[in-house]
């Protein structure tokens, strides 16, 4: 499971080649979004596969939308819950900030079939489509308090 994201500068053709600006660890941000607070190394080590990054996409506003699966305390241990974590990923080291969290109204058991991995697609505006093996979930990822 990939836990890092790379930020690249890709100039127009006449300005030279692309270059890597920074590589960020986003997993701590994902865990902090679920916990609702800063987490330490011990809490991160205790995760033990309870939270996994499934897919990611970039929004029109430049946020990184990360689809995660997690074992929720209120559900059976073999049932996965899903959420979309919005992250602001900066170009400086350790500059990942949580911008929002949207829990999806969908649960499933782990599915070992190769094409059953959930996929995140972002529509125009602040709409997310999550395609599961047997369902499609549409969710608003807007975090504007006036909405």
Read off the pTM: 0.83
Per-residue model confidence (pLDDT) at position 137:
96
Q: How many CB atoms lie within 10 A of CB 18?
A: 9
pLDDT tens string 71-83: 866 666 678 999 9
- Contacts of 110-114 with C-beta under 8 Å, sequence gap 24+, read 110/78, 110/80
Per-residue model confidence (pLDDT) at position 68:
93
Ordered by start, the domain boundaries in the chain are 4-114
pLDDT tens string 88-133: 888 787 788 888 999 999 998 888 888 889 999 998 788 999 999 9
Distances (CA, A) of 64 to 36, 53, 115, 121, 122: 18, 12, 23, 12, 11
């Amino acid at each position: 499971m990939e836990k890092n994201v790379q930020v690249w500068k890709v100039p127009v053709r006449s300005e030279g080649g692309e270059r890597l600006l920074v590589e960020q660890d986003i997993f701590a941000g994902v865990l902090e979004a679920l916990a609702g607070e800063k987490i330490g190394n011990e809490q991160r080590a205790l995760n033990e596969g309870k939270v996994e990054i499934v897919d990611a996409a970039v929004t029109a506003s430049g946020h990184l939308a990360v689809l995660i699966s997690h074992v929720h305390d209120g559900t059976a241990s073999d049932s996965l819950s899903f959420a979309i974590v919005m992250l602001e990923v900066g170009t400086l080291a350790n500059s990942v900030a949580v911008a929002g969290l949207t829990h999806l109204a969908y649960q499933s058991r782990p599915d070992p079939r190769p094409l059953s991995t959930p996929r995140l697609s972002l529509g125009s505006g602040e709409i997310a489509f999550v395609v599961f093996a047997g369902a499609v979930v549409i969710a608003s990822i807007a975090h504007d308090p006036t909405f």
